[in-house]
Amino acid sequence: MFSFITSLIPTSYFPEWLTLDTNPVNSFLQGLVGSCGILVLCSLIRLHLFLEEESWSDTYGTSGQRTPSHQSRANTGLIGTLQFVFVTGTLAVVGSRVASLVVLEFCLRAVSGLVTAGPESKKFVQQLLVQSQFSLGCALSCSLHFLHEGASQRWLCLLLAAALSWFLARQAALLLHHVLSLYRLHSSQRYCGTCISLLTSGRCLLPMLCRTMVITFSVAVVAAISIINQHFLSATEALRFWTPLTICYTLLVVYMQEEQHRMPGSQTVLNTVVVRLGGLMVLMLTVGRWADVLHILICFLGEASCLIPTKDLLDAALPQEEDYTHYTKREHQRRPQTQEKEHRT
């Protein structure tokens, strides 16, 4: 039915780079699945950071002295709804070819970052998960495009996937709201099964999330390589595309990774987004198509809509380290005073 309706629309008046690769309904459903995946990721990251801060407060006895910075922004109001709709539309418009390039770029950046992270690997993993929001949406979108390609009832399969992802996103948001509101009370009284489970096994949340992301991006890499290679007529043309893309982008990612380690912070992450996508757009101007350039410009908006509202998550590890240093300094100052009092007595 959808193909019959779209066949009635005259496309000869539109340039090729203004038309979508697939049916608009399929593109919307793929974007909806990607946005739901981003929502689940953000909810679980906020949940992990909250549990980590609660555990740290219980260990060093600073509970109740301050409110977590990431807790104040964990809302699902009108702004969150508008952001969800905007990200869905962005992922629906971005073509599968550029989404595949975004996935491959993120995997290359993640591998090089983990190799050079060193002792700050846990902090880097947390920041990498926050930075992977739009890349995760592109990964889910291009994976669904690859897995359902050629299906007779493709829109129905995507509708079922969108319904399942919406349910998971809703449950993750409800879990986050419950924990932020009642975790302190329920964990102390020990009469809530959800909060008791998080109290005993909350430290396994980050490793589980990392394993899930590894599986998701592994499938997306296979789908991305297959989607990109479909646009080439010969091996020579594919080699001419992959060689400058791999060499130039590897050097660019390594350079930006060193800059991020040297000057950590949310502003540096936003600067690296501009440089990375700018480098990818320059490469597409030489070996790509005009549709790719347009879709990369749309990716700028998608990355900004995901990272700007979550700048507090990027800096969430820094305040914890500062509080720990203040705590240790305060303890070192108290020890000589207590020793003097003991000698006087």
Number of Cβ atoms within 10 Å of the Cβ of 171:
12
Total structural domains within the chain: 1
What DSSP string describes 88-146? HHHHHHS-HHHHHHHHHHHHHHHHHHHHHHGGGHHHHHHHHHHHTHHHHHHHHHHHHHH
> pLDDT value at position 329?
47
The answer to whether 130 and 314 have CB atoms below 8 angstroms apart is yes
> pLDDT value at position 31?
93
The answer to whether 269 and 260 have CB atoms below 8 angstroms apart is yes
> pLDDT value at position 152?
78
The answer to whether 98 and 296 have CB atoms below 8 angstroms apart is yes
For each successive 10 residues of the chain (345 residues), what is the average pLDDT? 40 45 83 94 91 73 49 63 92 88 85 70 81 92 88 86 95 91 80 83 88 94 87 68 71 66 64 74 73 86 87 67 44 51 52
Domain assignment of residue 328, yes or no? no
Domain assignment of residue 295, yes or no? yes
pTM: 0.80
Distances (CA, A) of 39 to 22, 171, 243, 299: 24, 10, 35, 18
Domain assignment of residue 11, yes or no? no
Domain assignment of residue 331, yes or no? no
The answer to whether 292 and 16 have CB atoms below 8 angstroms apart is no
Q: What is the CA radius of gyration of the chain?
A: 23
Domain assignment of residue 286, yes or no? yes
Q: Which domain holds residue 148?
A: 23-59+69-318
Domain assignment of residue 7, yes or no? no
The answer to whether 259 and 268 have CB atoms below 8 angstroms apart is yes
Helix boundaries (H) for 202-265: 205-229, 235-262
Domain assignment of residue 291, yes or no? yes
* Closest-CA residue to 133 (of 301, 308, 307): 307
Domain assignment of residue 98, yes or no? yes
